[in-house]
Structures are given as structure tokens and as C-alpha cells.
Amino acid sequence: VPSVPNVPKVMYGPWVGQDITVNTTRKLTTGENVYLIEQGTYTKMVTESGVAKYYVGKIIDFNPNNWNTYSNAGNNYKIKNVSSVPSVPNVPKVMYGPWVGQDITVNTTRKLTTGENVYLIEQGTYTKMVTESGVAKYYVGKIIDFNPNNWNTYSNAGNNYKIKNA
């Protein structure tokens, strides 16, 4: 069933209770969409192919590299008002700028504690980041080391990283 424009995606099922509007959509390392809600102390997730999982924690803690370590939820979460075939092709987000070199497709998107999206790439020994509002930062390390609580401790990159298609 294709998505209906402007109709919110909804999670439901025995372990959800009433229909709950999906808080956010993320991509697994396979490229498949996963839909997430926060309910109490749990983050509940279901993929477009119907695989349901959960963990204790906030959505901001979601890491696609940890997908196989999250707890299975059987058939207790379901999703509706989505389509596994998007009606508009997804245009990749791209980071560019003097300290990036050529355009590089964003590896992942995470949320800051403020709720703002931050786009990340790994380049050499650095993880380079740009927020939706254009704040650019970096650190030595892998994307998996990113912690939104450390945002103010990361090094400032001035106007040397920019984002397009975001």
C-alpha cells in the first residue's frame, strides 16, 4: 500500500497500545528504513519489512550498527501509512567545503540533544559534522564514537564544512 501524502506514519500493535505517530525514520546499514517511537523508557522500532525490535533508551541513542544487538519484539509492533517504495527518489545529502575536498555523501544523520539534525562523514582519521543550521565541527575518531552530549567539546570547523540536499 503506497504512502498517502501528508498522512503520518503510525506504529501500533500489542506492545504499543493505541496508534502512535512515528517520531522519526532512520536507515539501517542495509539501506532499509526503520521507524522509531519513544514510549516510556523504551525506543520501539519496526522496519519497512516488518522486523520489530526495541531497547531501553532514547531515540537519539539509536545506532544502525547495533541493529542486531537490539531485543526482538516479534509481531508486537507494526507500521502503517508507509510504502517500501518511495514515490520520490531520495537525494543523498552531501558534505562539501574547503576542509572536505570533493563532495562526499553523508554517512549518517544523528540528533543533537536540542533535536537538531547533525550530518556526519568519516574522512581519514576525522569525523566531520555539520548541523542543519550550518554549525561545523570535527573530532579525531569514528562516527560510532559520536555522542550528542559532547557536542560543545568538539572542535569548531568554522565555515569549512557545508551541507546540501538536506
For the chain, the domains span 10-80, 94-164
Which pairing describes strands 33-39 and 42-47: parallel, antiparallel, or unpaired?
antiparallel
Specify whether the CB–CB gap between 129 and 136 falls below 8 A: yes
Instruction: Give pLDDT tens digits for 12-53.
Output: 888 888 888 888 889 888 888 899 998 889 999 998 888 999
Cell numbers given for 149: 552530549
Instruction: Give pLDDT tens digits for 96-155.
Output: 999 998 888 888 888 888 888 899 999 999 999 999 889 999 999 998 899 999 999 999
Residue 131: its H or E element: strand 126-131
What phi, psi does 60 have (nearest 5°)? Answer: -60, -20
Threshold 0.85, pTM exceeds: no
